[in-house]
Homo-oligomer: A and B are copies of this chain.
Amino acid sequence: MSADPTNAEIFENLRIELRSGCVVLATLAELRQEHYGYTLRKVLADSGIEIEENTLYPMLRRLEKQGLLLSEWREEDKRKKRFYRLSPLGKTLLAALFDEWDALQAALSRVRKGR
């Protein structure tokens, strides 16, 4: 019995690596408008970016701790919910990350075509 990863596991790890930066970028971009976790996850999924709850919530807390997000507890429909939105620093970094994303996309497109 070998402990080597299967081809499916190798692919899955590469896929996760490819997705992870995009997931952060999409989250920041969506939080240009305020959301609480549930609706954020829903609108991202509707756009084609599925995020597990146990990935999303730690990521939101990390991004808030880094100063990219602001959050606020508010009551809505008789329940306290934590609403998140992009901070001014988050806005600046989001714009810079989209510039990086555009450059990566252009570069990858050139490599893919074999120039």
- With A29-B111, A111-B26 already in contact, the answer to whether A96 and B11 are too (CB < 8 A) is yes
Copies of this protein, total? 2
Q: How far is the CB of A65 from chain B (nearest CB, A)?
A: 9
Q: Does A32 contact B (CB under 8 A)?
A: yes
Range of interface residues on chain A? 35 or more
* Pair A14/B7 contact, Cβ less than 8 Å: no
The distance in angstroms between the C-alpha atoms of A101 and B106, with both chains bound, is: 13
* Pair A103/B48 contact, Cβ less than 8 Å: yes
* Pair B17/A47 contact, Cβ less than 8 Å: no
Contacting B at CB under 8 A, from A95-111, are 96-98, 100-101, 103-108, 110-111
* Pair B18/A18 contact, Cβ less than 8 Å: no
